[in-house]
Copies of this chain bind each other. A is one copy, B any other.
Amino acid sequence: VTSTTPLREDDVVAAIRTIVERPGSSKVLLGIGDDAAVWQPSRSHRSVVTTDMLVEDVHFSRATMPVRAIGWRAMAANCSDVAAMGARGVLATIALGLPPAWTVDETEELYRGLAACADASRVIIAGGDLSRGPVLTISITVVGEVRPSNLKLRSGGRRGDIVAVTGALGASRAGLDIMNARATIDDALRNEALAAHRTPVPRVREGGWLGASRNVHAMMDCSDGLSTDLARLCAASGCGAIVEAVPVAASARAVAEQLGEEPQQYALAGGEDFELLVAVAPRAYEHVALRFHASFKRLLQRVGVLQADESLVVRKEAGLEPLARSGWDHFA
């Protein structure tokens, strides 16, 4: 990688990792690479910390997104990362860059969205920083806690594990198409898609529940699209996967069909869905799925199976096809 190469996220992360890695830092157990970093405040406790930056006109547009929804989504992304480790959130800090002509009213509206999602995720907003900036920039850090035995990483998947998600995917991307006036669908589906895009619900209780199950070997959230995130889980776990079914949200299917696009692509590449992606011991899968449904009145939806071969493939009528990694690259 030279200075003239365009930035690719994975290259940059690799370069950073080389610079910041320090051997033998006993209190910090897990650093760059998972949804959150992990450290050990005492022998019997683990804390996790995750951080996320959202930049106007990169991650959202004030022209189409209400200010309160901008706040909600920013908080949701971080609470989802904490839930994806099996942890419960404790507190959040928020650093804001506020653009010229930004008002106190708009700041309050943004904070109402941040606080509403924090309340829904049982997280206290405990501090922050305010700054001027050329565009609205929101950087959030959420700290959580987890019993050592409940901590779930991306790297715990084993061949034969069943891969599943906590809900159908693609609705957030469908909501974006609707907001951008690319598609019009019936009201109920429209509302599903807009809510998924504007006020996505991080799977906080589900994450704690799945974290407490010994049969859940690996977990992460699906925020960059199933194809990208499954590839990351597989890479961390040293295996591949066969995708047998891609659960597509009804609103995503409707929008895709109207636009003449492939519905599965909304789930594979859409991103921002915040469902949890898990790898579950195959013999326990049916039992886990039943108990999950009983607890949350939601289906744990089977996506496929981890395999020893490190390739990612999709089972189609004509046979196995490679799975293209079509999700979100933050520099693409």
A interface list, Cβ under 8 A from B: 1-5, 7, 9, 11-13, 15-16, 19-20, 22, 25, 27-28, 30-32, 34, 36-37, 39, 41-42, 44-45, 47, 49-55, 57-59, 90-91, 93-98, 102-108, 111-112, 114-115, 118-119, 124-135, 137, 139, 141, 143, 145, 330-331
- Known contacts A93-B49, A94-B51, A103-B3; decide if A58 and B128 are in contact (CB<8 Å): no
Shortest Cβ distance from residue A297 to the other chain B in the assembled complex, whole angstroms: 28
CA distance A133 to B13 in the complex (A): 17
* Contact A20–B115 (Cβ < 8 Å): yes
Per assembly, the copies of the chain total 2
CA distance A119 to B1 in the complex (A): 26
Q: Which residues of B contact A114 (CB under 8 A)?
A: 20
- Known contacts A42-B45, A137-B55, A139-B139; decide if A50 and B127 are in contact (CB<8 Å): yes
CA distance A95 to B129 in the complex (A): 14
Q: Which residues of B contact A19 (CB under 8 A)?
A: 108, 111-112, 115
* Contact A143–B39 (Cβ < 8 Å): yes
CA distance A111 to B14 in the complex (A): 12
Q: Which residues of B contact A58 (CB under 8 A)?
A: 97, 131-133
* Contact A133–B132 (Cβ < 8 Å): no
* Contact B32–A107 (Cβ < 8 Å): no
- Known contacts A131-B53, A141-B49; decide if A31 and B126 are in contact (CB<8 Å): yes
Q: Which residues of B contact A132 (CB under 8 A)?
A: 55, 58, 330-331
CA distance A222 to B49 in the complex (A): 27
* Contact B5–A104 (Cβ < 8 Å): yes
- Known contacts A58-B132, A133-B55; decide if A22 and B95 are in contact (CB<8 Å): no
Q: Which residues of B contact A94 (CB under 8 A)?
A: 51
CA distance A25 to B115 in the complex (A): 14
Shortest Cβ distance from residue A238 to the other chain B in the assembled complex, whole angstroms: 21
* Contact A15–B107 (Cβ < 8 Å): yes
Cβ-closest chain B residue relative to A31: B126
Residue in contact with A127 in the complex, picked from B3, B37, B118, B125, CB distance below 8 Å: B37
- Known contacts A42-B41, A132-B331, A133-B55; decide if A93 and B141 are in contact (CB<8 Å): yes
Cβ-closest chain B residue relative to A97: B55
